[in-house]
Amino acid sequence: MQSTLPGSDGLHVALIMDGNGRWATGRGLPRTAGHRAGVESIRRVCEAAPDLGVRALTLYAFSADNWRRPAEEVAFLMRLLRRYLEAEAARLADSGVRLVVIGRRDRLPEGLPEAIAAAEAATAAGTRLLLRIAIDYSARDAILAAAASAPRSREEMTGLLAGAAGDVDLLVRTSGEKRLSDFLLWECAYAELAFVDTPWPDFDGAALAACLDDFRRRDRRFGGLKAA
Ligand code: IPE
Ligand code: IPE
Ligand code: MG
């Protein structure tokens, strides 16, 4: 499997950041307040991840199916993502984070593809953490696109889909739902799954550490037998 990160013995953790809307409405706030609070969780988790043995983090920010939401909520999310990328790129670069955005770019509103490209360029030298943010992402579409270049092996397919991040070791979904919602379907073939009730805006480094503690107690057999 290809890897461009030094010390690439760390984990690839995928996070389905769910529950922003419920977090907000439960407090009598508009759903957008939950999305705004969710950005703070992204900052906290990215800061904590490298010291917890995570080398790659893939965050589900906006699915290809999220276009079905009301236009005002979609527009708010797009503005929030653009602002996050513009405000955060320098700080990410300073802390050794390399940012890569996965998903389609051709349907994004004006300004966002440019902000993505600028943030990717500004952080390209980062080796401490590979941070992948999935925007307008569908795993099934990604698999279809990768298959179109006719990979000849599973490894080649994984390389096309996941690049340096590789297979997912641990997938965490917040806020109680127990489904994948079209996220990283190929890369999660042997991922350990964790479903936590905490809504995304309340998730932080300690919550990630608890998920990793649980992950490290699991017995990953990959079809074989328990290690003696
Ligand atoms: C996750 O929170 C953020 C996105 C999907 C963009 P939701 O907006 O799905 O929040 P809930 O699940 O409705 O509470
Ligand atoms: C999945 O959450 C997508 C993201 C977290 C970006 P959704 O809230 O859109 O998923 P469903 O609709 O509950 O499956
Ligand atoms: Mg949701």
User: In this predicted structure, what is the pLDDT of residue 85?
Assistant: 98
Q: Which of 9, 20, 66, 214 is catalytic?
A: 66
Q: Whole-angstrom Cα distance, residue 207 to residue 195?
A: 12
Whether 66 sits among the annotated catalytic residues: the reply is yes
Ligand 1 centroid, distance to 20 Cα (angstroms): 5
Tens digits of per-residue pLDDT, 130-187? 999 999 999 999 999 999 999 999 999 999 999 999 999 999 999 999 999 999 999 9
User: In this predicted structure, what is the pLDDT of residue 227?
Assistant: 74
Mean pLDDT of 26-37: 98
Ligand 2 centroid, distance to 138 Cα (angstroms): 11
Ligand 1 centroid, distance to 225 Cα (angstroms): 38
CA 136 to chain centre: 12
Summary mean pLDDT of the chain: 96
For the chain, which residues make up each domain, given as ranges? 11-216
User: In this predicted structure, what is the pLDDT of residue 4?
Assistant: 40
Residue 199 above 80 pLDDT? yes
Residue 46 near residue 130, CB atoms below 8 Å:
no
What residues flank ligand 1, with Cβ below 6 Å?
17-22, 62, 66, 77, 175, 200
Classified as helix, coil or strand, 129 is strand
Mean pLDDT of 85-111: 98
Q: Quick one: what percent of the chain has pLDDT higher than 90? A: 95
The ligand placed nearest to the CA atom of residue 173 is: 2
In this structure, the residue with its CA closest to atom 8 of ligand 2 is 18
Quick one: 104 exposed, middle or buried, by C-beta within 10 A (0-12, 13-18, 19+)?
A: middle
What residues flank ligand 2, with Cβ below 6 Å?
16-18, 60-63, 66, 177, 179, 181
Q: Which of 18, 20, 136, 169 is catalytic?
A: 18
Tens digits of per-residue pLDDT, 64-87? 999 999 999 999 999 999 999 999
Q: Whole-angstrom Cα distance, residue 208 to residue 174?
A: 11
Whether 20 sits among the annotated catalytic residues: the reply is no
The predicted model scores a pTM of 0.96
Tens digits of per-residue pLDDT, 107-135? 999 999 999 999 999 999 999 999 999 99
Q: Which fold has domain 11-216?
A: Undecaprenyl pyrophosphate synthetase (3.40.1180)
The ligand placed nearest to the CA atom of residue 80 is: 1
Residue 22 near residue 198, CB atoms below 8 Å:
no
